């Protein structure tokens, strides 16, 4: 469970988030809805520690994230997967290398096991035969799905998706929505 208590964030004179509180229960898709520029991404970035809120508390299973030092934050971040608005794939790496990156960094699995895991998550996001392709060779929807595969490869406890459907056609949007829902159910 994630709890937000009176989060406030401003950039200079512009207040982006003003006194926002929320409770996000585990095993559910929790949605943040708002107009463009209303601070949804800023709030999400505060929640994962990419931005420091000016005031307020963010609690992960009761642990106050805002009061932790960098190393302790890193430990919580290892339980977080995030799908960025622009996919944020490493453009110098292939799809396979992109998804394998967290496995290479945080596991000591043999290559075969890592490859199996990569193929498993790729099939979960309905992608086949794209392992050796570079992000520049993929469509917007495929990039989102690869990014989603990378976000879930380590089985994160928390999955954050920043506008997962932006710039996608309605059909691909539906596919992504179903995937996120399916992943949420499987994560419980």
- Which residues of the shown chain bind another protein in the complex (CB under 8 A)? 45, 48-50, 70-71, 74-75, 77-78, 80-82, 84-86, 88-91, 101-102, 104-106
What is d(CA 183, CA 168) in angstroms, rounded to the nearest whole number? 20
In terms of Cβ atoms closer than 10 Å to its own Cβ (0-12, 13-18, 19+), residue 71 is exposed
In the complex with another protein, which residue's Cβ is closer, 105 or 178?
Answer: 105
In the complex with another protein, which residue's Cβ is closer, 102 or 141?
Answer: 102
What Rg value do the Cα atoms of the chain yield, rounded? 17
In the complex with another protein, which residue's Cβ is closer, 17 or 84?
Answer: 84
Residue 80 CB, nearest approach to another protein (Å) = 6
- Helical packing angle, 140-152 and 95-106, nearest 10°: 20
In the complex with another protein, which residue's Cβ is closer, 21 or 74?
Answer: 74
Transcribe 87-136 into DSSP letters: ----TTS-HHHHHHHHHHHH----HHHHHHHHHHHHHHTT--S-TT--GG
Residue 90 CB, nearest approach to another protein (Å) = 6
Residue 171 CB, nearest approach to another protein (Å) = 25
């Amino acid at each position: 469970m994630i709890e937000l208590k009176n989060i406030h964030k401003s950039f200079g004179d512009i207040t982006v988030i003003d006194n926002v509180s929320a409770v996000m229960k585990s095993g559910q898709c929790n949605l943040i809805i708002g107009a463009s520029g209303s601070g949804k991404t800023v709030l999400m970035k505060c929640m994962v520690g990419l931005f420091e809120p000016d005031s307020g508390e963010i609690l992960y299973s009761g642990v106050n994230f805002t009061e932790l030092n960098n190393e302790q934050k890193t430990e919580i971040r290892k339980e977080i997967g995030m799908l960025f608005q622009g996919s944020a794939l490493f453009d110098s790496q292939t799809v396979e290398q992109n998804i394998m990156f967290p496995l290479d960094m945080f596991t000591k699995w043999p290559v075969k096991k890592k490859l199996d895991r990569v193929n498993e998550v790729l099939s979960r996001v309905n992608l086949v035969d794209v392992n050796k392709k570079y992000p520049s060779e993929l469509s917007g929807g495929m990039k989102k799905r690869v990014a989603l595969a990378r976000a879930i490869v380590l089985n994160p406890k928390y999955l954050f998706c920043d506008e997962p459907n932006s710039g996608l056609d309605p059909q691909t949007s539906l596919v992504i929505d179903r995937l996120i829902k399916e992943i949420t159910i499987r994560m419980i």
